[in-house]
Structure 1
Amino acid sequence: MIARLLIPSSALLWGLQFALLSPALAIILATLYDASTADIGWSLAVYHAGGFVASLLIPAWADRRRSYLPVMLGCGVLTIALAGILATVTSLPLATVALVVIGGPAALGTTMLFAHLRDTGSTTSHIADTRAIISVAWMGGPPLATLIIGWLGGHGILAALTVLAILNIATTAAMVFRHKRADQDAAPSRTSRSAPSLPPTGKAATALILTAFVLFQATNATAMTFMTIYVTETLGLAIIWAGIALGVAAALEVPALMIIGRLGDRVSHLTLVAVGALAGVTYYLGLAAVTEPVLLLALQPLNAISFAVVSGIGMVLFQEMIPGAGLSTGLFMNTRRIGAILSGPIIALGALPLLGQRGVFLACAILTLAGLGFVHIARRAAATTASATPAAEDAPAR
């Protein structure tokens, strides 16, 4: 029973760790180092750039050794080191260096967890269920972060991160022990264990899927970031309706992830991605036309479906198409980073007189539709590659 709780506990703890840090990092920089808004922007930009590089190099290193849990242990140790350094340094440049050098690698705990799940042969539903637990953590993390900041300030958040890191180290150490015992019990098969088989997709299909998911992530980030302004300025509603809409979508994400994960064990992942993209297009078109709060809330199930497919099935699809459980998971995580960057220019469209704020969501619908087109072309490219591969009948592209 305890062994079965290790993965869910680890997912919850890692999810809480970053759900606390992400919304609180700007406040930590402002309160502990008197950073201005511009200073915070540059520091966070450098930090995210360092995280981007770390999420490519370290997972690839872990792939070569097929060793993900020890890297997770290292992430926990680095988190404690990061919290200690941020609590003791007094200048913003030193804090920024710590965020890049230590914070970037420390942020890979979740990536390594999903890489470990892929490497050990977890099903799509298991991976999606684990991703749903992280969504639960993100539902509670930001409110908890604001509570801690209001009570104990920036140092309080750093102390909470240290506690979570210690718990992460403990759960990961238990997972390492359990994994070693499982390998010892299956010693004959362990010597001949090979990397998980990958469908013959080809570089063209992989590049198309990467492009499609950057667009999906960009439009999702745009809708989430822009919702408050849109609700108050264009719809003329109280700001609480934006919070209610986003809260409804977040609450629906968890069951959506679990349902779609089970469908992923039976249905082609590319097909599910296409369904999620269609849900996204419908959602953005609905947002562009909505005038009442009831319709705004009625659209949120489409938002939840679209996000669940992108975050749940998308991760598994990357793990199938790209060799290396760590690198593929890291690349998927980076589509969110790149998408967040692209969301800025999309939101800027709202300043154009001919488009206005409703045009932002029309642009999201068009970009999501373009992503759907890339997925369709990728399916055809994967099918062509599979038909030209001798083992295609044994390993059809999903």
Structure 2
Amino acid sequence: MRVLRGINPLYLAFMLVSFVSGVAGALQAPTLSLYLTREVAVPPFWVGLFFTVSAVAGIVVSMLVAKRSDSMKDRRKLILFCCAMAVANALVFAFSRHYLTLITLGVLLTSLASVAMPQIFALAREYSDREAKEAVMFSSVMRAQLSLAWVIGPPLSFMLALNYGFVTLYLVVGVMFLITMLLVGFTLPSITREPGLMQSGGMPVSGWRNRDVRLLFIASVIMWTCNTMYIIDMPLYISSTLQLPEKLAGVLMGLAAGLEIPVMLLAGYLAKRIGKRNLVLIALAAAVLFYIGMVSLTSRNALLYLQLFNAVFIGIIAGIGMLWFQDLMPGRPGAATTMFTNSISTGMILAGVIQGVLSEQYGHVSVYWLALVMAIVAFALSTRVRNA
């Protein structure tokens, strides 16, 4: 592969930073709903509310930080600050079981910590542009590191939480972010940047007025709502409704992440040949099949096999979705990327509310029935977006 030619230490450093920080996130996220249910002892609605508040805070903080990041001479300082907030956040979750503290201080620290990964990718894009590397494949390989991290993270997360407790889990998360800080500080380059591409830090009006961009944004929100509802609800659905071992949830997440790696790289290879629009439609068709399986199949093996469709769905939209936005907004990659990331955050907000209400009022399986309908709607909307 061309991306493997001329490997240098900085290239490997970006891959390692992406992987280590990805593992840290993959340790914390999968068991959060179980943590709130068991350790903090709150009902499903308050679990969903926590995810919603986190998403809203994440949007606000990312918009504010985006403006600041464009004026900083060294993006690494911001990444280091965010990683330090991640360490503090891990300590809060390790030693506090007070819901109000977690949904205020914990959410604030989480929001600041979540900025680190986009900034790492922004620094990587600047580095690839400066070195005349193939930015698409460079970004794809970095995203593959995140998927690899999610192969390892979820099973390890459940193992640590169930066998050693959540204090141990969050202390390990803190150590991983400390390692990330060291890697960023001592291995990543300082790059002089051109004027920022995301001056507004939010959704550009001209992009929203574009019919194709608007339709894709709505479809993307729906896609990420479906996926986030699944991530929030699945560990609870596995244990409380299907009466399957809780550790299976970690295995399912890890398996899906592992399958996403070849899907993601293959999608990057096929994008120029069959088009990004067709790839996203394939992903949504896989999503429809996945959620049909979730409402109709209950055995351990069936759930494992279903992860292939889940991996095709997420593996494609996570990378190709962003590139499709960029194609529809030529010359404005920063604004296009902001719209894509905002669609993810908006989906998280909706997912937190919907999952909490549905699971508490109608049971966990109702979440997947709605996800099935929403996936069909997203497919229909995407067919109306042109292939730029």
**Above 0.5 in TM-score?**
yes
The percentage of aligned residue pairs carrying the same residue is 22
Which one-letter code corresponds to 1:36 in the other structure? A
Partner of residue 128 from structure 1, selected from 140, 143, 159: 140
Relative to structure 1, is the Cα distance of residues 371 and 63 closer, same or farther in structure 2, using a 3 angstrom cutoff? Answer: farther
Which one-letter code corresponds to 1:99 in the other structure? G
Partner of residue 144 from structure 1, selected from 128, 147, 156: 156
8 Å CA contact 1:20–1:141 kept in 2: the answer is yes
8 Å CA contact 2:280–2:321 kept in 1: the answer is yes
Aligned ranges for residues 1-398 of structure 1 at < 5 Å?
1-25=8-32, 35-38=40-43, 41=47, 45-63=52-70, 68-84=75-91, 93-119=100-126, 120-121=128-129, 123-149=135-161, 153-176=165-188, 178-180=189-191, 203-223=210-230, 248-264=255-271, 266-285=273-292, 298-319=305-326, 321=329, 324=334, 327-328=338-339, 330-338=341-349, 340-341=351-352, 343-344=354-355, 351=362, 357=365, 363-379=370-386, 397=388
Relative to structure 1, is the Cα distance of residues 316 and 6 closer, same or farther in structure 2, using a 3 angstrom cutoff? Answer: farther
1:141-165 CA distances to partner (integer Å, 9 max, x unpaired)?
A: 2332344445654443343233222
C-alpha displacement of 1:313: 1.5
Which one-letter code corresponds to 1:62 in the other structure? S
The 2-side partners of 1:268 and 1:247 are apart by 29
SS of residue matched to 1:280 = helix
1:315-361 CA distances to partner (integer Å, 9 max, x unpaired)?
A: 33345546526734642441441352365289559949xxx95x765
1:242-286 CA distances to partner (integer Å, 9 max, x unpaired)?
A: 757665434322211121122235553233212212222343345
The 2-side partners of 1:338 and 1:116 are apart by 27
Relative to structure 1, is the Cα distance of residues 24 and 371 closer, same or farther in structure 2, using a 3 angstrom cutoff? Answer: closer
User: Given the two structures, how large is their TM-score scaled by the length of structure 2?
Assistant: 0.73
8 Å CA contact 1:17–1:165 kept in 2: the answer is yes
User: What is residue 388 of structure 1 aligned with on the other side?
Assistant: none
SS of residue matched to 2:384 = helix
The 2-side partners of 1:292 and 1:227 are apart by 14
8 Å CA contact 1:124–1:313 kept in 2: the answer is no
The 2-side partners of 1:265 and 1:281 are apart by 25
The 1-side partners of 2:151 and 2:351 are apart by 19
Larger Rg: 1
SS of residue matched to 1:37 = coil
C-alpha displacement of 1:107: 1.7
Relative to structure 1, is the Cα distance of residues 132 and 332 closer, same or farther in structure 2, using a 3 angstrom cutoff? Answer: farther
C-alpha displacement of 1:35: 3.5
C-alpha displacement of 1:15: 1.0
The 1-side partners of 2:90 and 2:294 are apart by 41
The 1-side partners of 2:178 and 2:221 are apart by 34
SS of residue matched to 1:324 = helix
Alignment size in residue pairs: 362
Instruction: Name structure 2 gaps, 5 residues minimum.
Output: 1-7, 199-203
The 2-side partners of 1:299 and 1:337 are apart by 22
8 Å CA contact 1:29–1:35 kept in 2: the answer is yes
SS of residue matched to 1:110 = helix
Tell me whether 333-342 or 161-170 shows the greater mean CA deviation.
333-342
The 1-side partners of 2:101 and 2:60 are apart by 19
SS of residue matched to 2:40 = coil
Relative to structure 1, is the Cα distance of residues 175 and 40 closer, same or farther in structure 2, using a 3 angstrom cutoff? Answer: farther
